[in-house]
Amino acid sequence: MTDSKALNTAVVLALAAVGKIGPVLTRAVLNKAKTPQEILDWSLLRFVEIPGISEKLARQIKDNLDLDWGLRLVEWAEKNEFRILTIKDGEYPARLKQIYDAPSFLFIKGSLTLADEKGIAIVGSRNASEYGRSMAARVATEMARHEVTIVSGMALGIDSTAHLGALSGGGRTIAVLGSGIDVIYPPSNKGLYRDIAAGGAVISEFLPGTKPAPHNFPRRNRIISGLSQAVVVIEAGVKSGALLTADLALAQERQLFAIPGNISSKLSQGTNELIKAGAHLLTSAEDIFSILPELKNNYILPQRDIAIDLTAGEKTILGLLSEQPIQIDDLVRQCRTSVSDVTAYLLSLELRGLVKQLSGKRFIAV
């Protein structure tokens, strides 16, 4: 015998799968029922009483609501260790439920918690510069240390870096996919997918097996902003998908922040225009806390006693590093020492978490 929760979930899945109904009408139907199961016994007239549902659509719902398909999908999710939350479930994210076109259901790998209501989204270019990735990691790590959940889309560039920054800060992060929950995109993010699920959640409103397609990502973006109290845009061209997320954030009455960039860079044109149009300028996490003070906790960054911990050579190298990447050859010239010594110093500093190596043998201070 199928339990009541599985049956209710199956009804929501089957209802949402009926063509031409969409999340808004699905929610309108569900709001008129005490439980989703009740819909199975509705007459055509009961459906037609709901604004937006014609007699033709009501008949289509009655004729095409495939409960067995919904139950098979519930069974598939359980077998493959995915959860399904419907908009009628108490655990459904409260902030996401506020948006006009909230998804009727979410497939989840990992877990959503009440702590995720305290979250911000970080989005930006897939072809991010080192500056953009550095800023994404910095903001995500700092916010994670204040127990703020980082929400993004697991794309290459800014998104992936934001997730990694949250994890390195010991915090939670949520990835919203533009594909089915079982379709990892890009495929190179398989390891990141696993790490996010272990330290937060990967979610999708698309049915299993759905491939990434251009029209999926605007739908995904409304969930990214919908889950968040604020959206931070880092590097976005004038036609970037990140700007669509910014528009959605404003429509959903979320706070909008943008990190300024080089005025000659195409990657900064979108973010700089957002600031000119009224987005909050972001240079550090304190700018977010000034607008949303409830996100800040009493975290204090541990202080390192560099004088005790480091050798003279390591201190020299660290003194030459900043947030701007520098080539190892330049470090060698400035230190006037051997490549092998500089390499050893850098490795020691990297192991201590004070230095990060970038592509092309470039290094920055962390």
Q: What is the pTM of this model?
A: 0.83
Q: Which of 65, 80, 95 is the last residue of a domain?
A: 80
Q: Are residues 218 and 312 in the same domain?
A: no
Residue type, 157: G
**199 and 76 together in one domain:** no
Q: Which of 295, 325, 343 is the last residue of a domain?
A: 295
CA-angle at 62, arms to 57 and 68, nearest 5°: 130
Last residue of a domain, one of 80, 101, 128: 80
Give tens-digit pLDDT for 185-235: 999 999 999 999 998 999 999 999 999 999 999 999 999 999 999 999 998
**Assigned domain for 152 exists:** yes
Residues 141 and 216 in one domain: yes
Domain CATH number, residue 174: 3.40.50.450
pLDDT computed for residue 310 by the predictor: 75
Structure tokens, 279 = 């987005």
How many structural domains does the chain have? 3
Q: Which domain holds residue 346?
A: 306-365
Residue 273, in any domain of the structure: yes
CA dist 127 to 34, 155, 236, 249, 332, Å?
A: 48, 10, 9, 22, 30
189 and 251 share a domain?
yes
Domain membership of residue 66 (yes or no) is: yes
CA-CA distance, 213 to 28, in Å (whole number)? 28
Is 101 part of any domain? no
- CATH number for 330: 1.10.10.10
Same domain flag for 313 and 211: no
User: From CA 221, how far away is CA 205, in angstroms rounded?
Assistant: 11
Please give the radius of gyration of the chain, using alpha carbons only, rounded to the nearest integer.
Answer: 24
301 falls within a domain = no
Which residue in the block uniquely carries the two structure tokens 């459906």? Answer: 47
Asked if residue 324 lies in contact with residue 331, where contact means CB atoms within 8 angstroms, the answer is: no
Residues 124 and 245 in one domain: yes
Residue (of 296, 257, 240, 282) closest to 124 by Cα position: 240
Residue 328 and residue 290 share a domain: no
Same domain, yes or no, for 127 and 233?
A: yes
Q: Is residue 106 part of a domain?
A: no
User: Do 183 and 218 lie in a common domain?
Assistant: yes
Pair (12, 36) in one structural domain: yes
Question: Which one, of 177, 228, 169, 69, lies nearest residue 161 by Cα?
Answer: 169
Q: Are residues 147 and 249 in the same domain?
A: yes
Tokens found for residue 171: 């915090």
In three-state secondary structure terms, 231 is strand
Q: pLDDT per residue over 106-151, tens digit each?
A: 999 999 999 999 999 999 989 888 888 888 988 998 899 899 999 9
Q: Is residue 94 part of a domain?
A: no
Q: Which residues of the chain have pLDDT under 70?
A: 1-2, 298-309, 351
By C-alpha distance, which of 199, 127, 121 is closest to 156? Answer: 127
Same domain, 35 and 55: yes
Q: What pLDDT was estimated at residue 349?
A: 79
The whole-number pLDDT of residue 1 equals 45
Let me know if residue 257 belongs to a domain.
yes
Tell me, what DSSP letter sits at residue 239? Answer: T
